[in-house]
Structure 1
Amino acid sequence: MADRESLLETAIVRHGAGRLDEAEAIYRQLLAARPNDADALHLMGVLLHQRGRSDEGRGLIEAAIGRDTANPVYHNNLASVLLSLGALAEAEASARRALALLADYPDALVNLGTALVRLGRLDEAGDHYRAALRLRPDDAEGWLLFGNLLARQGRTGQAVEVYRQALSLRPRHGGTLIQLATALKAEGDGAGAIACYRAALELDPASAPALNNLGNLLQATGALDEAEALYRRLLALDPGHPGALGNLGGVLQARARFDEAIACYRLALQVTPDDAAAHHNLATALKRIHRLGDAVEEYRRALALAPDYAEASSGLGAALQAQGHVAEAVPHYERALALQPTFHEPLNHLMFALNALPNITSADLLAAARRWAAAWPTPAVEGRHANPPDPDRPLRVGYVSPDLRHHPVGYFLTAVLGHHDPAAVEVHCYSNSRIDDDITQRIRAAAKGWRDIAGLDDAAAAALVRADGIDILVDLSGHMADHRLPLFQRRPAPVQATWLGFFCSTGLDAIDHIIGDPTIIPVEDEPCYSERVWRLPGCYLCFDGSTIDLPVAPLPAGETGPITFGCLNRRDKMSAPAIEAWAEILRRVPQSRLLLKTASFSDAATRADIIAAFARRDITGDRLVIEGATSRQRHLEAYQQVDLALDPFPYTGATTTAETLWMGVPLVTLRGRTFVGRVSASMLQAIGRPELIADTVEDYVERAVALAEDRPRLAALRRELRAATAAGLGDGLGFARALEALYRAQWRTWCAVSA
């Protein structure tokens, strides 16, 4: 007996010191002499479990229990082994047997809690973790497990405190730091999460979760260099890590390195071919380089794997729309919104798509905006505004946009901002973009205040607007990409308006006013807007073409050459009725041809589709010139090939129309039934060329044919249009004064009810 006790004690010491080979040899020696020794059976079972041989360990511990059923330690350690084997119900039963023998047994309480967590019985599990921690409050591992439970229950604020308690007991534990970082991120404390991940990496530079998750946080803050470096570090350690491959692809895509991003996504799919997110990300990158047919296939693969994937539904709709399949895209946007009502991307795509459908009305557009925006959560709104209701004092006007850069909004806004009277209006800009280009710099220079809000949530951004004392907050996005309409729902300014960046009602009660002009919003359309309609006297847009360093070219057709018609608008604006009208114009003007240029035509399938559309209307491919994406300079140079521009309908041009006219190219438009159906008409009215506006499709065709047959008139228009455009659309000073007068009237309206 003395030899047995001595040997067992020696084995236990060596086992505890991690000298497992030596401990195992002694246990085997004991069992050879006494095969039914319960302690030796139990401890040998524990050791085999620690060595990854849990099935063998389970058998030995069960044999020990067969010899001694009243030992709670045996039952508890069997519970640990069963947990590792996934035998959860049996693990629960073993832990309960241990507690029946010893009620105040912290280890058994923890094991029971863990079994219950994995069985989905979270509230019960919490009770047992709490009981264990009351008995043993210095158990860092117990606090960690309890924190994980709270995080799983969505109680991340409490989880943060529990993880901090675990760290106070075990400060240099990487796993706890990672869990704390995850909880802090969920609580909106990105900076705290980043600090925890960095601390975890100091302890273990090869920690995959820390490398990957820190990269994700840095990527979200725009620190793309460091995020890329972290993902590459992880991939050097684990070249097939699908998360890192996908995330690196995201960084590369954000940097417009699309071919490299696509390579990352394809590698990720080699590792996990059934990963719906990887198919979605690949599709998105393909769409960005206008490989639309390939993008559609990848989005469909993502949805086959995950039918309720809202982002993939929205992406599929966008790819189909870019190909010109607008009606087919609409149900995909509606599906995405039904799955995720607060997902803004499909709504901005849907509103664009609806505007491009031939039979849509302004009332339909208001109903759609109202329907989907009504699903957004209603945020808390602070009390009265502190702005002094003095009707005549200088006003602080804030412009909110993600497009204060090379973008149509940026182009139109630069024509105005520098002309605001600082004695009447103090301009503040709130930029929701991390792009900073020469247009951004021009806008920033013209503003009194500049705030970058891309990294702020709506509550923080609203607090900033209030602190800046903004009197009139102007949305320049509507439901377009990266808008901040939920910021407006918090009512940070007493007067709130939308202008310039959108093309119908926002459908939000938080937007008081919409700024248009008499052409785009006639009086009879006012009931189709949730906002009060205000009209500038000319066109609602101001265009400064002086930055376009290209001359007006002579008429390309000359006196006897073939006429070239042209449309440089998006493919999804080229509706079937517009294509039918263009085909009729080509039939009636012999030898003429049609130049179609837009980024979507970089895609072979989309080019083939438009050629087929004309072929069905008896127009052969040799009469079409199809061009895809180029630089903006090359895009503008294309106008030098066009004798007469054909505006698409029902969604007409805006920036494209202004550029067309500036380049001296006459444009025939069809006045439509909606805001976007009248933008070109508004511009042509403003520059004094109403004769280029048609009111029916037949009239549109007749005017285009007649003008194509009148070369002297075409040549004269070409000589006149730039000056007319500069006078009618480019008077930045006059436009600014009219806009200021409108702001003043809106302000006085508020003052009258607030004084």
Structure 2
Amino acid sequence: MTIATPMQLDAAPLPHVDQAFATPSAPKATEHSLPQLQIVPHSAADSLPQDMADRIAIVFAAGKFSETAAVCAKLLNSFPTSATLWTTLGMCHQKRGTLNEALTCLNRATELAPQTAAPHIGMADVYIKQRRFDVADVHFEIALRLEPKNVVALNNFANFKVNSGRPDQAVPLLERATVEMPDTALLQYNLANALRSLSRHSEARAQYERALDLKPDLHEARGNLGQLLYLDQDYEAAIFQFDQLLLVNPTDDRAQAYRLHAKAMLNDFSWVAEYEQHRRHLGLRGSAVSPFTTLVMEDNPDLLRVRTQAYASTVFPPQPESTISFLRPEARPQRLKIGYFSSDFHNHATMHLLGGLLRAHDQSRFDIHAFSYGPDRQDTQRALVEANVSRFYDLRNLSDHELVERARAQELDIAIDLKGYTGNNRCAIFGQRLAPVQISYLGYPGTLGTPMMDYIITDSVVSPAGSERHFEEHLIRLPHSYQPNDNQRQIAPRQFTRADCGLPEDGFVFCCFNNGYKITPREFDIWMRLLTAVEGSVLWLMSGGAAAEANLRREAESRGVDSGRLHFAERLPHGEHLARQKVADLFLDTFAVNAHTTCSDALWAGLPVLTLPGQQFSARVAASLLSALNLPELIAKNEADYEARALKLAQEPDALLALRTAVARNRRTAPLFDTRRYTLSLEAALDTAFETWRLGQAPAHLTLSAPHGAKEQSQTTAERKTSVAAA
């Protein structure tokens, strides 16, 4: 999720770099009870009469740029030395996109009024549109040198700095502006946006609330406050803000989607019936919605793809004819240069999976680069990444434009996005083409809905034959599972007891450590019937907070189950979380969005996972992992079979013991946790994708077979290649 765009004091907002969430179009400045702010504050020294200047400013502020330009051009016959007219005419050209004409007019204004800031502010806006960002910086600096208290310059320069990845430099500018105009809601709102970009959430919340106190109908501030509350896991307060937005605009699908997702995070099952009222149009009638928020709402890959395509059009807007060209080499380079892009190169679920792959990459054939735009966290997983890549780039303070330029400068052969539409993503940069081959991988379970991604890494379980229509990308099906695993992940040596975990010493322990939003009435009904059927059994869940726990306890009671049979686990460091899972008996998976990394965690810890595969990618991941662990008996055929298998394992200790033994045995021998074998397959996929491009061929669906001799430590290049067939 991201903030809505910052607002300019002259009318139009600058585009924001991240499109994961945006509230309705930003109102014009005049709708925020601002004093009249024209581009050039009219001075007595200007030859244009004051009453004429006032009328022109009103027409300009109304957005009638063609009409304003015509009036200015006519008046220049009588007042050719009016800096007001030249500046306003220049800004009209800027609004209409005739940028060279705008610069001509604004340059003339600077000649006529060399000590006035406004023409320089206008020129900075023009240079931003021309993507000449260094020159824009210079003109903002000149404007503030001339008029240090000019609120328009302070605000717009700050917005430019936020959008170019420099929120730390924007905050003092906006603080100066709020001193000059303390009761201006728009300035408080923009300051809140800058603070939020720096993760100074408590301060940002206070500024959003201040903006809303000044102007309760500043909907952008309310939407961003709702998002911030959501990110801070204050879901009830977030829902209140989204409810207020929907009272004003019931068709605001983005607010609706986040509201429903927040309810799911609280395990408030009322979202299910409410979603049914909106499902036919949600994200399709005007405002696109983040597809991540709708994954759990319905296992319908066709509908999901349509919603995703609508959303992708906001993230990847049509690009002008690209001037970027990539020279096709006559042969494969000795080392293919691979760029992984993520905000999660630290102790994060993605790195728990990916760390082994980075360690196992054949450095003689692949030159691995990690592009990080996430927080600077010096932990064990960050150290693992830095130790196993050729170069690590900390780019968290760069704008999208700067990040693209830095990536292109490395002349990558393949660029891989590890985020998709998950939080803190910057997948929009792939819309500007970072490398000749671009691949979506691991972070987001589904299509990104754009042809800007050439491929997506998947497998034949999550993406079976016939599922190609659910993807905009071409499928690269790996031979076992699409998901990598690190066979050196450490499980803490601590031996947890049930008492340590707050569980009863006796009785069967069903568990599910998925995030709470994945739990829907479909699963919960079955789980409660299992508790009823298995005397003394309990259900062990990951805590989603007091409100979520209370909602689930209430749902249990409504199904005739003592709510005391639900137990909730607090979060622990990763190694300890793996270790404590050994005290559970059976992991019960969720349906529309399975356990993903969580499934691998449980299996690595030796805990069997029972799943029911659905239709969409996110609903088939656990089946993929279990297939790669050679445990098809844990993949149910339907809901009745899922319930029957769980009941059998709970009532037949020998069957459960045999299954746990199989998990322990297979984790050492099956493909799922064979990091080297997996790496060989992925490297073959990268080779094939690059070779397809090098030969001038269009991307096609690919299915890879398993590498031969994967456990051999010494192999020739030819032996490393896997066979590839066009699907």
Pick the TM interval, shorter chain. 0.7 to 0.9
Deviation at 1:582, TM superposition (A): 0.7
Correspondence for 1:694 among 623, 632, 636? 636
Correspondence for 2:291 among 332, 348, 362? 348
Deviation at 1:157, TM superposition (A): 5.4
Deviation at 1:393, TM superposition (A): 4.7
3-state SS of paired residue (2:643) = helix
State the one-letter code of the partner of 1:419.
A
3-state SS of paired residue (2:679) = helix
State the one-letter code of the partner of 1:316.
R
Deviation at 1:246, TM superposition (A): 2.9
Q: Is 1:561 matched with 2:503?
A: no
| TM alignment of 1:600-615, pairs within 5 A | 601-602=544-545, 604=547, 606-615=548-557
| TM alignment of 1:186-335, pairs within 5 A | 186-235=129-178, 239-305=182-248, 312-324=255-267, 325=271, 328=274, 331=278, 335=282
What's the CA shift string for 1:509-564, capped at 9, x where partnerless? 34333322233223343454444433323222222264545237467389961332
3-state SS of paired residue (2:611) = strand
Q: Distance in 2 between matches of 1:516 and 1:154?
A: 43
Q: Is 1:339 matched with 2:339?
A: no
State the one-letter code of the partner of 1:268.
A
3-state SS of paired residue (2:592) = coil
Correspondence for 1:409 among 350, 359, 363? 350
Correspondence for 1:744 among 665, 681, 687? 687
Correspondence for 2:329 among 388, 398, 403? 388
| TM alignment of 1:573-612, pairs within 5 A | 573-598=518-543, 601-602=544-545, 604=547, 606-612=548-554
Call closer, same or farther: CA 1:286–1:635 in 2, change over 3 Å.
farther
Q: Return 5+ residue gaps in structure 1 as ranges.
A: 1-84, 87-103
3-state SS of paired residue (2:290) = helix
Q: Is 1:168 matched with 2:115?
A: no
Instruction: Tell me the equivalent position of 2:365.
Output: 424
Deviation at 1:636, TM superposition (A): 5.3
State the one-letter code of the partner of 2:458.
G
3-state SS of paired residue (2:595) = coil
* Preserved contact between residue 313 and residue 332 of structure 1 (Cα < 8 Å): no
| TM alignment of 1:339-738, pairs within 5 A | 339-340=286-287, 346-350=289-293, 353-354=294-295, 356-358=297-299, 360=300, 362-370=301-309, 373=312, 377-379=317-319, 380-382=321-323, 385-390=326-331, 393-433=334-374, 437-438=378-379, 439-440=381-382, 442-450=384-392, 467-481=409-423, 483=425, 487-489=429-431, 492-544=434-486, 546-548=488-490, 550-551=492-493, 553=495, 556=498, 561-598=506-543, 601-602=544-545, 604=547, 606-626=548-568, 639=581, 642-711=584-653, 724-725=666-667, 728=670, 729-738=672-681
Deviation at 1:487, TM superposition (A): 4.7
Select the structure that is richer in helix.
1
Call closer, same or farther: CA 1:386–1:618 in 2, change over 3 Å.
same
Call closer, same or farther: CA 1:192–1:264 in 2, change over 3 Å.
same
Call closer, same or farther: CA 1:393–1:377 in 2, change over 3 Å.
same
Instruction: Tell me the equivalent position of 2:707.
Output: none
Call closer, same or farther: CA 1:374–1:107 in 2, change over 3 Å.
closer
Q: Distance in 2 between matches of 1:506 and 1:365?
A: 10
3-state SS of paired residue (2:73) = helix
* Preserved contact between residue 110 and residue 132 of structure 1 (Cα < 8 Å): no
3-state SS of paired residue (2:618) = coil
State the one-letter code of the partner of 1:396.
K
Q: Distance in 2 between matches of 1:222 and 1:371?
A: 26
* Preserved contact between residue 109 and residue 132 of structure 1 (Cα < 8 Å): no
* Preserved contact between residue 252 and residue 287 of structure 2 (Cα < 8 Å): no
Instruction: Tell me the equivalent position of 1:32.
Output: none
Deviation at 1:714, TM superposition (A): 5.3
State the one-letter code of the partner of 1:511.
M
RMSD, aligned α-carbons = 4.0
Call closer, same or farther: CA 1:143–1:309 in 2, change over 3 Å.
farther
How many residue pairs get aligned? The number is 643
* Preserved contact between residue 356 and residue 485 of structure 2 (Cα < 8 Å): yes
Q: Return 5+ residue gaps in structure 2 as ranges.
A: 1-34, 37-46, 699-727
* Preserved contact between residue 498 and residue 513 of structure 1 (Cα < 8 Å): yes
Call closer, same or farther: CA 1:162–1:715 in 2, change over 3 Å.
farther
Q: Which moved more, 1:429-438 or 1:508-517?
A: 429-438
Correspondence for 1:142 among 64, 73, 85? 85
Q: Distance in 1 between matches of 2:57 and 2:473?
A: 55
3-state SS of paired residue (1:676) = helix
What's the CA shift string for 1:200-225, capped at 9, x where partnerless? 44444444344444433333444444
Deviation at 1:740, TM superposition (A): 1.2
| TM alignment of 1:73-112, pairs within 5 A | none
3-state SS of paired residue (1:566) = strand
Call closer, same or farther: CA 1:483–1:513 in 2, change over 3 Å.
same
Instruction: Tell me the equivalent position of 1:28.
Output: none
3-state SS of paired residue (2:559) = coil
Deviation at 1:506, TM superposition (A): 3.5
* Preserved contact between residue 707 and residue 713 of structure 1 (Cα < 8 Å): yes
Deviation at 1:655, TM superposition (A): 1.0
State the one-letter code of the partner of 2:516.
R
State the one-letter code of the partner of 2:552.
I
Deviation at 1:132, TM superposition (A): 4.0
* Preserved contact between residue 556 and residue 643 of structure 1 (Cα < 8 Å): no
Q: Distance in 2 between matches of 1:252 and 1:637?
A: 39
Deviation at 1:578, TM superposition (A): 0.8
Call closer, same or farther: CA 1:277–1:469 in 2, change over 3 Å.
closer
Q: Distance in 2 between matches of 1:282 and 1:447?
A: 38
* Preserved contact between residue 349 and residue 597 of structure 2 (Cα < 8 Å): yes
Q: Distance in 2 between matches of 1:292 and 1:272?
A: 23
Call closer, same or farther: CA 1:329–1:231 in 2, change over 3 Å.
farther
State the one-letter code of the partner of 1:262.
R
What's the CA shift string for 1:217-253, capped at 9, x where partnerless? 3334444444344444445555544334333433443
Deviation at 1:181, TM superposition (A): 3.6
Q: Which moved more, 1:540-549 or 1:454-463?
A: 454-463
